[in-house]
Amino acid sequence: MSGNLVRILADRDRCIGAGQCVLSAPDVFDQSDDDGRVLILPHAAAPHSDPANTTIPPQSKGPLEAATPPASTGLSDAAPPQPKGPLDAAASPNPAGLLDTPAPPVSEGPLVDEDVARAAVDLCPSRALSLARP
């Protein structure tokens, strides 16, 4: 547990239903019975969370990098403010990768522990998960 809290963004169009996130953090993720794709549980465990933080309006979220190996990660406060949404394509070492996906629908979850979130983002085989600092 890092003690830091982040939000997880899930791109359900990209999700392939492998279930790695559910195995990694069953308190945070589920899979829809209707389409098998990722769901972020509305009351995911958010230890030490300040209830005030959960009401931060979405437009104040800064997107962060996604799906980078743990050794090279680090929340970047320098990320330029942008509308909510994952920035993984722009932050990817190969920008051609997966850019064929049009602007994705994004679902948002509650605040979760950063270590838990990073592990899930790293495991996701379809790069459907990304992080945003509240």
Partner 1 sequence: MPQSTPAPAAAPAPETEPPPPRFPLARGCPFDPPADYAALRAEQPVTRVRVPSGQDAWLVTRHEDVRRLLTDARVSADRGHPNLPLTEAVTPASRQAIAAVGRSLIGLDPPEHGVRRGMLITEFTVRRINTLRPYIQQVVDGLLDDLLAGPRPADLVAALCLPVPSMVLCELLGVPYADREFFQRRATVQVRRGVAPEERQKAGAELRAYLDRLLTEKEADPGDDLLGRLIVRNRAAAAADAGEPPFDHNLLVGLAMLLMAAGHESTANMISLGVAGLLENPDQLAAITSDPAAIPMAMEELLRYFAIVDTMPRVAKADIELGGVTIQAGDGLLIGFASANRDETVFPNPDTLDVRRGARHHVAFGYGVHQCIGQNLARAEMEIVFRTLFARIPGLKLAVPLHELSFKDDSSVYGLDRLPVTW
Residue 127 within binding range of partner 1, rule CB under 8 A? yes
Q: How far is the CB of 106 from partner 1 (least distance, A)?
A: 17
Q: Where are the alpha helices (DSSP H) in the chain?
A: 20-24, 88-91, 114-123
Q: Is 73 in the site for partner 1 (CB under 8 A)?
A: no
Is 83 in contact with 7 (CB distance < 8 Å)? no
From the CB of 66, what's the least distance to partner 1, in Å?
11
Interaction with partner 1 in 8-47: which residues (CB under 8 A)?
A: 16-20, 22-24, 30-37
Contact 98, 89 (CB under 8 A): yes
Choosing from 73, 104, 122, 134, the residue that interacts with partner 1 (CB under 8 A) is 122
CB of 78 to partner 1, least distance (A): 23
Question: What is the rounded distance in angstroms from the CA atom of residue 118 to the CA atom of residue 105?
Answer: 21
For residue 6 the two structure tokens come to: 């982040």
Q: How far apart are CA 134 and CA 23, in angstroms?
A: 25
Residue ranges in 51-70 that form contacts with partner 1 under rule CB under 8 A: 67, 69
Select from 42-50, 57-65, 96-104, 109-117 the region that touches partner 1 (CB under 8 A). 96-104
Using alpha carbons only, give the angle 87, 94, 104 rounded to the nearest 5 degrees. Answer: 35
Q: Which residues bind partner 1 (CB under 8 A)?
A: 16-20, 22-24, 30-37, 67, 69, 71, 93-94, 96-101, 119, 122-123, 125-127
